[in-house]
């Protein structure tokens, strides 16, 4: 695209012939004006039409024109280039915002992955420790509160007499045989749970209680408890009355083999 530019040609750009012609025209115009001014007062001054004709003659001369038309190339791309920085500015800001957003997401994801990895490692360590404890001692892996009942029997120490063997003997001699055997068995369970820390739970059977006690009691104590469980099972589930001598032996030996820590026997 092109646009017009108007300007006055400088005297340096004129040729010698043009300069001479311009000088002669200027002298002619000056002479006409001087003649008009020097004429007698009675003479008429040069008319406006004459002056205009001289001026038009001078203007018609192509070499004396005070203006010229030339074509100049202007790159309109300059305007586009000027507009590009503003366009590029918001594009740059958008790309920068997107880059910052992805950077924040990447950083957050990295921290989340580290946290998740640490949590998984902690769970593995805890699970491995529990597994090792269970393999080492399955019954003592997780300490629990002692039960108040084993099956239907109340094994709380406060519900039992201090001298369980003596109390059971009195019940047997009064004819309360089932009650005497129940007192001996639940008293033995209570002593095993609270005094010897045998991990007996409420749902354990007689066989399970006997198996758990064998690993916590000495040989004589284990043998005594095994005799007591055998007599209890034959009486309750087999409906066979035990020999009185066997029951009296259990009553006499109870407080000696399954001693209570706060009892007089333990103090001696």
Q: What is the pLDDT of residues 216-261, one digit of tens each?
A: 899 999 999 999 999 999 998 888 889 999 999 999 999 899 987 6
**CA distance to 105, 153, 185, per residue, from 248 (Å):** 81, 22, 14
143 in a domain, yes or no?
no
For 149, half-sphere exposure in the C-beta direction (CA atoms, 13 angstrom radius) is 4
Q: How far is CA 127 from the centre of its chain?
A: 23
144 in a domain, yes or no?
no
Same structural domain for residues 37 and 56?
yes
Same structural domain for residues 171 and 219?
yes
Do the strands 2-7 and 68-73 form a parallel or antiparallel pair, or are they unpaired? antiparallel
53 in a domain, yes or no?
yes
Q: The tokens of 49 are what? A: 């039409």
Instruction: Work out the end-to-end distance of the chain between its first and last CA atoms, rounded to an integer number of angstroms.
Output: 124
Same structural domain for residues 233 and 161?
yes
Burial 54-84 (b: 16+ CB within 10 A, else e): beeeeeeeeeeeeeeeeeeeeeeeeeeeeee
41 in a domain, yes or no?
yes
29 in a domain, yes or no?
yes
Same structural domain for residues 119 and 153?
no
Q: Total domain count for the chain?
A: 3
CA separation for the pair 28, 20 (Å, rounded): 12
For 48, half-sphere exposure in the C-beta direction (CA atoms, 13 angstrom radius) is 0
Q: The tokens of 22 are what? A: 């311009």
CA separation for the pair 188, 5 (Å, rounded): 123
Last residue of a domain, one of 73, 95, 111: 73
Same structural domain for residues 245 and 155?
yes
Same structural domain for residues 30 and 61?
yes
Domain housing 87: 76-136
Mind spelling out the 3-state secondary structure of the chain? CEEEEEECCCHHHCCHHHHHHHHHHHHHHHHHHHHHHHCCCCCCCCCHHHHHHHHHHHHHCHHHCCCEEEEEECCCHHHHHHHHHHHHHHHHHHHHHHHHHHHHHHHHHHHHHHHHHHHHHHHHHHHHHHHHHHHHCCCCCCCCCCCCEECCEECCHHHCCCCHHHHHHHHHHCCCHHHHHHHHHHHHHHHHHHCCCCCCCCCCCHHHHHHHHHCCCCHHHHHHHHHHHHHHHHHHCCCCCCCHHHHHHHHHHHHHHCCCCCCHHHHC
Same structural domain for residues 177 and 198?
yes
User: Per-residue confidence of the chain (268 residues) as pLDDT tens digits?
Assistant: 444 443 444 455 555 555 656 666 666 666 655 555 544 544 566 677 777 777 677 666 665 555 556 666 665 555 555 555 555 578 888 888 888 888 889 888 888 888 888 888 888 988 888 777 656 554 444 557 889 999 889 999 999 999 999 999 999 999 999 999 999 999 999 999 999 999 999 999 999 999 999 888 999 999 999 999 999 999 988 888 899 999 999 999 998 999 876 544 443 3
Q: For the domain that residue 261 is a member of, what is the CATH number?
A: 1.20.120
Same structural domain for residues 112 and 65?
no
């Amino acid at each position: 695209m092109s646009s017009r530019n108007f300007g006055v040609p400088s005297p340096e750009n004129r040729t010698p012939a043009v300069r001479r012609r311009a000088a002669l025209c200027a002298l002619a115009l000056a002479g006409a004006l001087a003649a008009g001014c020097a004429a007698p007062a009675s003479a008429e001054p040069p008319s406006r039409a004459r002056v205009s004709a001289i001026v038009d003659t001078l203007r018609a001369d192509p070499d004396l024109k005070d203006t010229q038309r030339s074509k100049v190339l202007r790159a309109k791309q300059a305007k586009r280039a000027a507009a590009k920085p503003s366009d590029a500015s918001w594009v740059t800001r958008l790309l920068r915002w997107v880059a910052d957003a992805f950077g924040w997401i990447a950083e957050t994801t990295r921290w989340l992955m580290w946290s998740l990895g640490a949590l998984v490692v902690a769970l593995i360590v805890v699970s491995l420790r529990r597994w090792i404890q269970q393999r080492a001692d399955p019954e003592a892996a997780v300490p629990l509160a002692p039960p108040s009942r084993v099956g239907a029997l109340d094994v709380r120490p406060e519900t039992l007499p201090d001298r369980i063997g003596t109390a059971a003997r009195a019940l047997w001699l009064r004819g309360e045989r089932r009650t005497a055997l129940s007192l001996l068995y639940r008293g033995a369970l209570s002593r095993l749970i609270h005094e010897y820390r045998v991990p007996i739970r409420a749902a354990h059977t007689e066989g399970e209680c006997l198996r758990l006690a064998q690993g916590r009691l000495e040989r004589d104590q284990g043998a005594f408890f095994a005799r007591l469980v055998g007599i209890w099972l034959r009486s309750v589930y087999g409906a066979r009355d035990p020999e009185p001598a066997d029951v009296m032996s259990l009553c006499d030996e109870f407080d000696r083999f399954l001693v209570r820590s706060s009892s007089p026997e333990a103090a001696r």
